[in-house]
Structure 1
Amino acid sequence: MHPGDWHRIDDLDLFLSRAGTFLHSQPALHTVPLTVTEALRTRGPHAYGDVAPVFGVLERESEVRAVYFRTPPFRLNLTRLTPEEADALAVHLAAADHPLPGVSGERATAVAFAEAWQRHTGATAGLHESQRLYRLGTLTVPGPVPAGRPRIVEKRDRDQLAGWKDEFSVAIGGTADSRAGEWADFRIAYGGITFWEDTDGSPVSMAGATPMVAGQVRVAPVYTPSHLCGRGYAGAVTAEVSRAALASGADEVLLFTDLANPTSNALYQRIGYRPVADFAVYDFTA
């Protein structure tokens, strides 16, 4: 195929007007672009960084077949592509001198693009993480349920929440989040994080959920400080957030896991989550 079939779009509204139907056609597989563009729509173009986001669509016969987006400084995100489509996108982005720190997408797509990017730019691609996307089936609260209770975060929890966001970012291989406070404000505003509190009222774990879009909600992030792990807190708070998502009317409740963590994968399956597709995240170095 020809690289010219790919079209860069810098305006979010224009991107959604052209790609919205395609994104809504498979809400589970497109959960990341759906939730990220919803955050950009509600929080503004600099929700994820100081540099404006970039979008693109693959169009053939006036129909959108795939999309990409990037919110610098983060990696390129792709919907499902054939190897030929991935190669054409690599040519399209390389020709535009569009440097990339990495790529994320369904496994086969991410592999195809990483290989194409290496061919066309000379960059080196290294696997950063293998992920699995799960969809909730029948919700089951894992037992035994720990002492304590769930509580939706409030304004008084801002510092605690921002601090845990920093810790979570580091725990998954990133760096402390300079926008953790803004992120906390956004999540608090719509009740998007739930704490599990110990019997003395101390938060011991948290789970979040994205705003509903296209009938789907994604559970993220789930975090328990390392010294509190293994006590059932993560399972209890994840089950509560999942229950609340269903109660809000979500058709699909989703979450991603790191396949290198067998404990979390087993836990989420005990709660009732079932595999949908595998994803991969690659880093690029010059």
Structure 2
Amino acid sequence: MKSTVYTRAADFLAAAGAFLEQNEAANNLLLGLSNILVQKEQRGESTAGNLLYTVECGSGTPILAILLNSKNLILYCYGDDADTEAAVKMAIADIRQRGLEVPGVVGPVDAARSLALEWAAQMQLEPYVRMNQRIYLLDRVNEIPYAPGRLRQAGMQDHETAASWMYDFAESVNENMSRQEAANKALECLRDGSLYMWQDENGIPVSMTRKTRPTRNGIVLSFVYTPPEWRGKGYASSCVASLSQRLLDEGYRFCSLYTDLANPTSNHIYSVIGYRPVLDSVLYRFNRL
């Protein structure tokens, strides 16, 4: 086996892109974040703090691809158990040699478990499952009843609402996000035109979602949130279905998204709209012993 560290995301995608695109929707996070890094490189911006890494088998084909940033180690691995174990141990040895930290692990269930357990054992940490996830794909929107109102792109006049909802969304999934971070994230989304809201028949915003992380053929929906007082009225379904259809109409072959398997309501909503499961994923975090 051979490991390679890439200083440029463009080189990483040249080496691992075809491997990851064999299951493009399942790898929307790895591919999407890598594409964002490529765009930063093209603008001359720094991408320091990101480790891009592959392990190849004897044929030169990657069996493990990793992006390590300040939040998580995101991985995809395809091989038998012995190859996976060997690739994981090689990756961890290289990461430790570089003095890097792994704050969390995201990836397919078996591969993520293998890496999280190995990292924890070597670093004397206790791994725990932060979230069991499912990745969905949609290439056709089902016919569903829409709530009264319409989808619209959020504008700067929505900044206060968007910031508040992003903070509440993060809190609902137990992610750490300060009020200021939420305000900054909302401003970023409004500036790049990625945030959408469903407004009711009175023009009141009642639900939101965001388009993000485009890949070669697809794009991701995230930040799906409806305040408690507006739930149960079909607003989230209408918001997600409408934006999904708009993105397909724009030329994307599919939309994808992550769900928390502990939330049966959202999983049911997405299935009704037309999203179907493609891969189960898991997010690990670590406690010190």
Q: Please, what TM-score do these two structures have when normalized by structure 2?
A: 0.87
Give the one of 235, 239, 242 matched to 2:241: 239
Task: Mark the runs of 5 or more structure 2 residues left unpaired by the alignment.
Answer: 79-83
Paired letter, 1:17: A
Aligned to 2:223: 221
Mean alpha-carbon deviation: is it higher for 10-19 or for 261-270?
Answer: 10-19
CA contact (8 A) 1:139 1:243 kept: yes
> Following TM superposition, by how much is the alpha carbon of 1:98 offset from its aligned partner in structure 2, in angstroms?
1.9
Letter in 2 for 1:272: G
CA distance in 2, matches of 1:118, 1:138: 41
Superposed, 1:77-92 pairs within 5 Å as 77-81=74-78, 82-92=84-94
Aligned amino acid, residue 18 of structure 2 = T
SS in structure 2 at match of 1:200: coil
| Cα-to-partner distance string for 1:93-127 (whole Å, 9 max, x where unaligned) | 23333221110001111111112112222211001
Identity %: 27
Residues 234-273 of structure 1 aligned to structure 2 (within 5 Å)? 234-273=236-275
- Structure 1: how far apart are the matches of 2:135 and 2:195? 20
Alpha-carbon contact 2:104-2:286 (below 8 Å) kept: yes
1:22 is paired with a residue whose SS is helix
How do 1:1-286 and structure 2 match up within 5 A?
5-42=2-39, 52-60=49-57, 61-72=59-70, 74-81=71-78, 82-143=84-145, 145-177=146-178, 178-286=180-288
CA distance in 1, matches of 2:72, 2:63: 21
Worse-superposed segment, 267-276 or 95-104: 95-104
- Is 2:52–2:66's contact at 8 Å kept on the other side of the alignment? yes
* Amino acid in the other structure paired with 2:87: E
Q: Which amino acid aligns with 1:176?
A: M
Consecutive unaligned residues of structure 1, counting only runs of 5 or more, are: none
Decide whether the 8 Å contact of 2:135 with 2:259 is kept in 1.
Answer: yes
Q: Aligned pair in 2 of structure 1 residues 159, 189: CA closer, same or farther (>3 Å)?
A: same
- Change over 3 Å in CA distance of 1:157–1:42 after alignment to 2: farther
| 2:77 counterpart SS class | coil
Q: CA deviation at 1:242?
A: 0.8
Q: State the Cα distance separating 1:256 from its structure 2 match.
A: 1.1
1: distance between equivalents of 2:30 and 2:213? 13
Q: 2:62 is matched by which residue type in structure 1?
A: V
After alignment, is 251-260 or 62-71 more displaced?
A: 62-71
> How far apart, in 2, do the equivalents of 1:182 and 1:150 lie?
23
**Residues 137 and 274 of structure 1 are in contact (CA less than 8 Å); yes or no, is this contact kept in structure 2?**
no
The residue type equivalent to 2:35 in the other structure is E
CA distance in 1, matches of 2:266, 2:107: 21
Single out whichever of 15-24 and 159-168 deviates more from structure 2: 15-24
SS at match of 2:215: coil
* Aligned partner letter, 1:42: Q
Question: Number of residues paired by the alignment?
Answer: 278
Cα gap change, 1:211/1:90 in structure 2, threshold over 3 Å: closer, same or farther? Answer: closer
Distance 2:75 2:152 in 1: 35
1:256 counterpart SS class: strand
Whole-angstrom distance in 2 between the partners of 1:281 and 1:250? 27
Paired residue type of 2:13: L
When structure 1 is superposed on structure 2, of 250-259 and 88-97 the one drifting more is 88-97
For the residue of structure 2 that corresponds to 1:79, the secondary structure is: strand
User: Taking structure 1 as reference, are residues 211 and 191 closer, same or farther at Cα in structure 2, changes over 3 Å only?
Assistant: farther
Give the superposition deviation at 1:249. 1.0
1:147 Cα offset (Å): 2.0
- Aligned alpha-carbon RMSD (Å): 2.4
Change (3 A) 1:157 1:141: farther
* Partners of 2:5 and 2:214 in 1: CA distance: 27
Shift in CA distance, 44/169, structure 1 to aligned 2, threshold 3 Å: farther
Q: Cα gap change, 1:75/1:167 in structure 2, threshold over 3 Å: closer, same or farther? A: same
Equivalents in 1 of 2:170, 2:124: separation in Å? 29
